[in-house]
Amino acid sequence: MEIKLSEPILEYNDRLAEENRALLAEKKVYMLDLMASPGAGKTSTILATIDALREQFSIAVIEGDIASDVDAQKIKAIGLPAVQINTGGGCHLEAAMIARALEALDLDGLDLIIVENVGNLVCPTDFDLGENAKVMILSVPEGDDKTLKYPGIFEVSQAVVLNKIDTLPVFNFDCRRFEDSVQALNHRAPIFPISALTKEGLDSWTSWLAKEVSGVVG
């Protein structure tokens, strides 16, 4: 007899995720789950995205970290609501954590919630949060072979952001090979090469996201 402990955990999580999804649908709020490894530029991408879309949508951020509230303070410093979730060593966010964070937000006054998941390329792929889309951020310095090492995160992503393209002249990163390998895993996911620092390519990414959000909020 084989007992898979992960099954009841995921079943419970998925049930709560559907409750989150139903609540957000009722309130007409779009939730984006951003996943990446540490240092890929999640927070800088979020800040650049907010800067581009804050005149169009009401935005809040849920920050997931093992410890500290550094990133949440950055969001609050620009005048947006932010909820910090500290996992205490956990490598991912779960639907129950998001449910508690949603209770702290005024959903009636929001259009878009951006979730910054814990920096990890493995665990977040298995946990539905109730999001409308999961998006993967990879940075150029990490290398173009991450699709081979962590295929799961690319397979579940509705879009892929390639950040820090301003560093391409410095690193041996083959954009064509990366794009081909992503498309082989997930041909439906668009790829958005950007630099959160210089804003290069940001318009394509934020236009895609704006269209996604508009489809929910009306």
pLDDT in tens, 180-210: 999 999 999 999 999 999 999 999 999 999 9
pLDDT the model gives residue 80: 94
Instruction: Please tell me the pTM assigned to this model.
Output: 0.92
In a domain, 186, yes or no: yes
Residue 170 CA to residue 108 CA, distance in Å, equals 46
Cα 171 to Cα 110, 143, 168, 175, distances in angstroms: 39, 8, 5, 11
| Percent of the residues in the chain that have a pLDDT greater than 70, as a whole number | 95
CATH assignment at residue 117: 3.40.50.300
In a domain, 89, yes or no: yes
Look at residue 152 and tell me whether its pLDDT is greater than 70.
yes
Tell me the backbone φ, ψ of residue 30, rounded to 5 degrees: -95, 130
Domain residues for the domain of 10 are: 6-213
pLDDT the model gives residue 43: 93
Give the mean model confidence (pLDDT) for residues 32-61: 96
pLDDT digits 0-9 by tens, 42-52: 999 999 999 99
In a domain, 135, yes or no: yes
pLDDT the model gives residue 64: 86
Give 139's pLDDT tier (boundaries 50, 70, 90): very high
Q: Give buried/exposed letters for 167-188 (b at 16+ CB in 10 A, else e).
A: eeeeeebeeeebbebbbebbee
Look at residue 174 and tell me whether its pLDDT is greater than 70.
yes
In a domain, 110, yes or no: yes
Nearest Cα to Cα of residue 42 among 81, 87, 75: 75
Task: Return the SS3 of 179.
Answer: helix
Look at residue 3 and tell me whether its pLDDT is greater than 60.
no
Q: What angle do CA 145, 33, 83 make, to 5 degrees?
A: 130
pLDDT digits 0-9 by tens, 59-113: 999 998 766 677 788 889 999 999 998 877 677 899 999 999 999 999 999 999 9
In a domain, 1, yes or no: no
Give 145's pLDDT tier (boundaries 50, 70, 90): very high
Number of domains in the chain: 1
Give the mean model confidence (pLDDT) for residues 26-47: 95
pLDDT the model gives residue 119: 83
In a domain, 56, yes or no: yes
Give 30's pLDDT tier (boundaries 50, 70, 90): very high
Across the chain, what does the average pLDDT equal? 92
In a domain, 140, yes or no: yes
In a domain, 218, yes or no: no
